[in-house]
Chain A
Amino acid sequence: EAQVTQNPRYLITVTGKKLTVTCSQNMNHEYMSWYRQDPGLGLRQIYYSMNVEVTDKGDVPEGYKVSRKEKRNFPLILESPSPNQTSLYFCASSLPGHPEAFFGQGTRLTVV
C-alpha cells in the first residue's frame, strides 16, 4: 500500500531534550516536506526537499533541522525543543509534475 509513515504519532517531551520525528514514504517520490499545523494558523511549511541531499527552508524553519540521506526518508530534528514547538506535524511527499501530495498521519508533539 502506497503511504507516508510518520513516527511517533504522539510524543510528550521536556524542553531542551533532542528529538527526531521520522518520515518514510514507499512511493519513490522525489519531493518531501514537513508542515506544522496550529489552531488559527493553518498548515505552515517548515522544510522541504527536492531530492536526496537537497533541502531548503520553508516559511517557519527556526528551531528545526532536516536531512535527506535516502530518497524514502526525511526526518525532522528538534535539537532543543521549546514549548512553542508544541504542534501537530505532518510530513508529505509528491512526484514532480503531479498535483497530489500524500500526507502522513501526523505527529502530535507536546513540549513541556
Chain B
Amino acid sequence: GQNIDQPTEMTATEGAIVQINCTYQTSGFNGLFWYQQHAGEAPTFLSYNVLDGLEEKGRFSSFLSRSKGYSYLLLKELQMKDSASYLCALRKAGSYQLTFGKGTKLSVIP
C-alpha cells in the first residue's frame, strides 16, 4: 500500500517563500505529483517528479528524494491567491492510479 503524510495547515506571509513537505511510504511508484485546490473547486495540476531532484515551474518548484521518501513543494513570492490546499499524490507503479495525501491548507496573510 501507500501512505502519504503532509502537514494539515500552514500559514505564510505575502511575498515570502513557503515549503510544504510530503513524506511517504510505498511499495513502488512512478511519479509524485502536486495539485492545488482552492476551496470548493477542483484540483489543478501543479508539478510532478519522476526522478530525484528539483523541477521548477515559475514561482513553483517541486523536489523529490526517493531514497529519503520525501518531497516538497516550494512556493516563492507568495500571493494572496496562493491560499489553497496543496495535495501530494503518488502514482502507483505500473498503473495510472493516483493516491492522494490529505492535503495541506495554506493560508497567505498580508
Contact = CB atoms under 8 A, between A and B. Distances in A.
Interface in B54-110: 87, 89, 96-103
A99 B102 CA distance: 20
Given A42-B101, A44-B100, A100 B45 contact: yes
A42 B86 CA distance: 11
Contacts of A43: 43, 87, 89, 100, 103
B96 A103 contact: no
Query: Chain A's interface: helix, strand, loop or mixed, by majority?
Result: strand
A45 B96 contact: no
Contacts, number: 47
Interface residues on A, range: 20 to 34
Interface string B44-60: 11001000000000000
A40 B103 CA distance: 9
Interface string A75-106: 00000000000000010001010011111111
A112 to B, nearest CB: 21
A41 interface: yes
